[in-house]
Amino acid sequence: MAAKQRKPRVSRNPELIRGVGKYSRSKMYHKRGLWAIKAKNGGVFPRHDPKPAEPKSDEKPPKFYPADDVKKPLINKRKPKPTKLRASITRGTVLIILAGRFKGKRVVFLKQLSSGLLIVTGPFKVNGVPLRRVNQSYVIGTSTKVDISGVDVEKFDDKYFAKQVEKKNKKGEGEFFEAEKEEKNVLPQEKKDDQKSVDAPLLKSIEAVPDLKAYLAARFSLKAGMKPHELVF
């Protein structure tokens, strides 16, 4: 298909000689229809006000620019979703801890916190496990359950288990060379009372079931010949 040929632009006022038009200024005024535009707007040509200029910032541009490109941190638009509790873990379920200081201990699940961690207890008098937070990735849920209807755990949250950060004082020249005295962390009396208030109703429920106290006190371990994938907890 052949391309369309453009027609040369023809002026409304052709030049007779260079710089001299065929029609006068008044003739072109009527020919261009400017009189109609003026009459339409009340005898005045319409005015188009210029756009308002953007306000200038008071801050001056920096005179120094870094030689290397400075990487700006990306905006994190990810919204954390609440951790879903495993179906095999419900309130009162006996769990087996798989890692950490109390590895192999059996504990009772009390509550899930907003952070997704689980609050468990031994109880302390039975196997020495105090109130603590555990990640559900490091526990095994068993089929054994304990009645915890009388246990109140409303006051426990993530702030309750947070460590108190103490500012360290700067040592002088004389104290620097002296032997440091190690201060033992003493558990507050309030937390001891909370442990007793949780364990008291829990111990009653445990003692009501035969052999349950001995079951919680015994440490879980694998022996020769035991196949973990065939065990029923």
Q: How far apart, in whole angstroms, are the C-alpha atoms of residue 107 and residue 138?
A: 12
List, as one string, the DSSP characters of 96-122. Answer: EE-SSTTTT-EEEEEEE-TTS-EEEE-
Q: How far apart, in whole angstroms, are the C-alpha atoms of residue 154 and residue 82?
A: 19
Q: How far apart, in whole angstroms, are the C-alpha atoms of residue 153 and residue 197?
A: 10
Q: Which helix (H) or strand (E) holds 200?
A: helix 189-207
What integer pLDDT is reported at residue 162 of this predicted model? 85
What integer pLDDT is reported at residue 93 of this predicted model? 93
CB burial of residue 169 (10 Å; 0-12, 13-18, 19+): exposed
Contact (CB, 8 A) for 149 and 193: no
User: CB-side exposure of 211: number of CA atoms within 13 Å?
Assistant: 1
What integer pLDDT is reported at residue 138 of this predicted model? 93
What integer pLDDT is reported at residue 184 of this predicted model? 64
What percent of the chain has a predicted confidence (pLDDT) above 70?
91
pLDDT tens-place values along the chain, 233 residues long: 566 777 887 888 888 888 888 998 889 888 888 888 888 888 888 888 888 888 887 778 777 777 777 788 888 888 888 889 999 999 999 999 999 999 999 999 999 998 899 999 989 998 999 999 999 999 999 999 999 888 888 888 888 888 877 666 666 655 555 545 555 677 788 888 999 999 999 999 999 999 999 999 999 888 888 887 888 87
DSSP SS3 for 73: coil
**Summary count for the chain: helices (H), strands (E):** 7, 7
Name the nearest CA neighbour of 101 among 228, 231, 227, 219.
Answer: 219
CB burial of residue 228 (10 Å; 0-12, 13-18, 19+): exposed
What integer pLDDT is reported at residue 167 of this predicted model? 67
DSSP SS3 for 188: coil
Q: How far apart are the first and last CA of the chain?
A: 82
Contact (CB, 8 A) for 206 and 213: yes
Note the Cα 224 to chain centre separation in Å: 44
Contact (CB, 8 A) for 34 and 27: no
User: For the CA atoms of 53, 59, 62, 68, what is the dihedral angle to 10 degrees?
Assistant: -90
